[in-house]
Amino acid sequence: MFGIRRTLKEKDINSTNLGKLRTYRLVRSERTISFKGKLLGYYHASGDSLEPAAQNQTHLESIAIFKTSTRYLVWYALEYLNNEHLSGRKVHVHAAPSLDGVARFIDSMTYVNKKSFAQAVVEDARAQDS
């Protein structure tokens, strides 16, 4: 039979698609971004518990690193809390020419749960990229 591949969404960012070339259609604000790429690493904060002092601060909800034919994409979702300018869940995308650029970008993040994901997601991406 013919293998019909569907376009993957945010819920498909998981271990079954790690390292595989797929077509993604991810939501970003009121629009979507579509691309073909390989999922190199990801992190979902759903199971992590934040310290009580950090629970009312902006934190990263999900992050994924993809490799397309020309660049690396960092897709990440933030939950904004106690911010006078932003509130709720916002999705962002950052493009970098190399995995080192991705590592520098993630290292510059200052979210309260950074220690939960920063090093691990970059190490996973490096392992999948080789």
Domain with 70, as residue range(s), is 10-129
Q: Average of pLDDT values for 83-90? A: 77
Establish if 1 belongs to a structural domain: no
Counting the structural domains of the chain, the total is: 1
Residue 81, both tokens: 């809390």
Establish if 4 belongs to a structural domain: no
Establish if 98 belongs to a structural domain: yes
Establish if 125 belongs to a structural domain: yes
pLDDT at 4 over 80: no
pTM for the model: 0.88
- CB-based contact 80:59 (threshold 8 Å): no
For position 63, what pLDDT does the model report? Answer: 94
Residue 80, both tokens: 């904004």
Task: List, as one string, the DSSP characters of 38-93.
Answer: EEEEEEEGGG----GGGTTS-EEEEEEEEE-SS-EEEEEEEEE-S-SS--EEEEEE
